[in-house]
Amino acid sequence: MVDWIVFVAGTLIALSGAIGVVTLRNPVHAALSLVLTLFGVAVLFVAQAAHFLAVVQVIVYAGAVVVLFLFVIMLLGVDRDEANIGVEPLRAQRPAAAVIGVAAAGLLLALSRVSFTTGAPSTAGAADGPGTNVEKIADSVFTRYVYAFEITSVLLVIAVVGAVLLARKPKPLTDEVAA
Amino acid sequence: MTQAQGAVLVDKASSGPGGQWFLAVAAVLFTIGMVGLLLRRNVIVMFMCVELMLNAVNLTFVTFAKMLNDIGGQVVVFFILVVAAAEVVVGLGIIVSIFRRRKIGTTADSAVLLKG
């Protein structure tokens, strides 16, 4: 019974936040709705015994990523309502989006009722059994997936360097100086 | 693995919601993100919709990790989180560099510089 209450609460939080991201006109409000969704997904992670990922989700996503979004919104100065949200530059874009959305929802919901598993045993280790969730993830990350783990550190360095290069102030002669 | 083959997808805890419920939620979340990506024209909000879709996929991975009793699903989500963080940093850097050098709005329609 408690499981159902947690599931319904997490689902309501996540889906209402998602609808807020899509419908709210102010980008700041959309970013705050995104926090709601990320928190709801974290609740659903806890409901499935993924405690480590729930904590990381709240810290990294709801903390760092959304703050980064808000930072860029404020930097670009777009923290007010979009005036032209009703304008439709492409003809029939909205009906097409609605049709595609309904089709995709139907397809995904149908797929979620079917299972294609082979029944083969897991190679990364069991998710239940003795030990905490953190220990089991650490066992897997630092043994079986250790090369992938090292490569992600390279990826992060590349991303940092790329972001610095991209966000540098442009040379004055290329365009009008923005700032 | 002590689990019997063929019975992998049967949930052990019968009191709570089964994995299919979580998969359905993930499907709805992914669809909302996709429709938002198609409808919204503010680039930053479109990027948030991409994050919604990423989170739906993460929820699917965690659900299958539970259903198949395999910690690999959760490890994959861990790596997806790292890659998503890198993606957000680079993506927002691109958005800033596009929209800072020209004083225009931040809708996707404004970025027509590459149009032939």
- The Cα–Cα gap between A152 and B79 comes to 8
**Best to test chain A binding among B11, B30, B39, B57 (most A CBs inside 10 Å):** B39
Set of chain B residues whose Cβ sits within 8 Å of the Cβ of A109: 24, 27-28
Kindly determine whether residue B107 and residue A84, on different chains, have CB atoms separated by under 8 Å.
yes
Q: CB distance from A100 to chain B under 8 Å? A: yes
- Say if residue A20's pLDDT is above 90: yes
Does B6 have pLDDT greater than 50? no
Single out the residue of A23, A163, A84 nearest to residue B39, CA to CA.
A23
How far is B103 from B54, CA to CA, in rounded Å?
31
Chain A residue numbers with beta carbons less than 8 Å from the beta carbon of B100 are 75-76, 170, 178-179
ipTM: 0.85
User: Helix B43-67 crosses helix B19-39 at what angle (to 10 degrees)?
Assistant: 170
A91 or B21, higher pLDDT: B21
* Residue B58 CA to its chain's centroid (Å): 6
Output the CA torsion sign for A133, A135, A141, A143. Answer: negative
Cβ within 8 Å, pair B93-A56: no
Buried b / exposed e along B16-55 (16+ C-beta atoms within 10 A): bbbbbbbbbbbbbbbbbbbbbbbbbbbbbbbbbbbbbbbb
**CA B8 vs CA A49, A121, A146, B11, B14: distances in Å:** 17, 9, 27, 8, 14
User: Per the structure block, which two tokens stand in for A21?
Assistant: 């991201």
* Token output for B65: 């990790």
Residue B107 DSSP class:
B
DSSP state of B70: -
Contact A57, B81 (CB under 8 A): yes
Average pLDDT over residues A2-19: 93
Contact call for residues B52 and A21 (beta carbons, < 8 A): yes
User: Mean pLDDT over residues A106-127, rounded?
Assistant: 76
pLDDT in tens, B59-70: 999 998 888 888
The pair of structure tokens assigned to A86 is: 């009703």
* CA B116/CA B112 separation, integer angstroms: 9
The answer to whether A78 touches B41, Cβ cutoff 8 Å, is: no
Closest Cβ–Cβ partner in B35, B72, B109 for A101: B35
Q: What type of residue is A99?
A: V
Task: Kindly report the nearest CA distance between residue B111 and chain A, in angstroms.
Answer: 14
User: Is the pLDDT score of B32 beyond 70?
Assistant: yes
**B92 contacts in chain A (CB < 8 Å):** 68-69, 72, 163
Nearest chain A residue to B108, by CA: A89
Distance CA A172, CA A170 (A): 6
Whether residue A175 and residue B101 make contact (CB cut-off 8 A), yes or no, is yes
Please report the residues numbered 72 through 91 in chain A whose beta carbons come closer than 8 angstroms to any beta carbon of chain B: 72-73, 75-76, 78, 82, 84, 89
Contact at 8 Å (CB) between A39 and A13? yes
Out of A48, A93, A120, the one facing B66 most closely (by C-beta) is: A48
pLDDT at residue A105 greater than cutoff 50: yes
| Structure confidence by residue, pLDDT tens digits, A37-61 | 999 999 999 999 899 999 999 998 8
| Shortest Cα–Cα distance, A67 to chain B (Å) | 11
Residue of B17, B25, B32 with shortest CB distance to A4: B17
In terms of Cα–Cα distance, which of A29, A80, A92 is closest to B38?
A: A92
pTM higher than the cut 0.80: yes
- Provide the token pair at B67: 């259903």
CA nearest to A101, candidates B50, B30, B99: B30
Q: CA-to-CA distance for B25 and B27, rounded, in angstroms? A: 5
pLDDT of residue B101: 66
Question: A94 falls in which pLDDT band (50, 70, 90)?
Answer: confident
